[in-house]
């Protein structure tokens, strides 16, 4: 059957789509099929469209599935390799689009934190919750985690390209 590899990849993508929809339904319930999801984080209120969650879930899950699936085959097959690269490129673009959002979050180790109720009301034992100054506290920021995640995704894509090139030369 000539179209069997294409049909198999369509079934894998369809399976990833169904799984991410089930996970979205398990996390958010019926609201995942509504217009938006409300998140209340500390004193900030976010309203996020549901398709953004589903796109993130789908790309991250599919990237992991295709990496493990194709790593077993040493990246010898062309169509799954191209799907993996497209998912990796989409993953990198999503990380780049999410990075400006995390720039607005207060960074650990910087001044400007507001703690409610003010710490002057509490005794001195509760002042330990303030962020610590130092080298590691500057590294442990959300934006740095996203940059590290993007470096890992690009490194996995380069590893896959190396394996594909090595297997196609033989």
pLDDT in tens, 92-108: 888 888 776 666 555 44
- Against a cut of 0.85, is the pTM above it? no
For 17, 107, 148, 150, the CA distances from 140, given in Å and listed in that order, are 33, 9, 11, 15
Mean per-residue pLDDT, 128-154: 71
Alpha-carbon gap, residue 30 to 24, rounded angstroms: 9
The predicted pLDDT at position 159 comes to 93
Alpha-carbon gap, residue 6 to 2, rounded angstroms: 9
Q: Between 94 and 34, whose confidence is greater? A: 94
The predicted pLDDT at position 62 comes to 92
User: Which distant-in-sequence residues (6+ apart) come within 8 Å of 93 by Cβ?
Assistant: none
Mean per-residue pLDDT, 110-116: 54
Degrees, nearest 5: CA angle 25-93-45: 50
pLDDT band at 157 (very low <50, low <70, confident <90, very high): very high
> Is pLDDT above 90 for 45?
no
């Amino acid at each position: 059957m000539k179209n069997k590899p294409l049909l198999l990849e369509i079934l894998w993508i369809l399976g990833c789509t169904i799984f991410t929809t089930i996970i979205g339904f398990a996390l958010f319930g019926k609201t995942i099929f509504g217009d938006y999801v409300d998140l209340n984080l500390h004193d900030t209120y976010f309203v996020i469209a549901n398709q953004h969650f589903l796109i993130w879930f789908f790309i991250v899950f599919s990237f992991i599935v295709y990496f493990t699936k194709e790593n077993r085959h040493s990246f010898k097959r062309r169509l799954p390799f191209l799907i993996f690269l497209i998912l990796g490129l989409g993953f990198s673009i999503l990380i780049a689009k999410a990075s400006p959002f995390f720039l607005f979050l207060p960074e650990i180790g910087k001044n400007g934190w507001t703690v409610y109720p003010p710490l002057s009301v509490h005794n001195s034992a509760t002042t330990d919750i303030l962020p610590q100054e130092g080298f590691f506290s500057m590294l442990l920021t959300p934006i740095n985690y996203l940059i590290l995640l993007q470096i890992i995704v690009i490194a996995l894509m380069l590893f896959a390209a190396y394996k594909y090139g090595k297997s196609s030369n033989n």
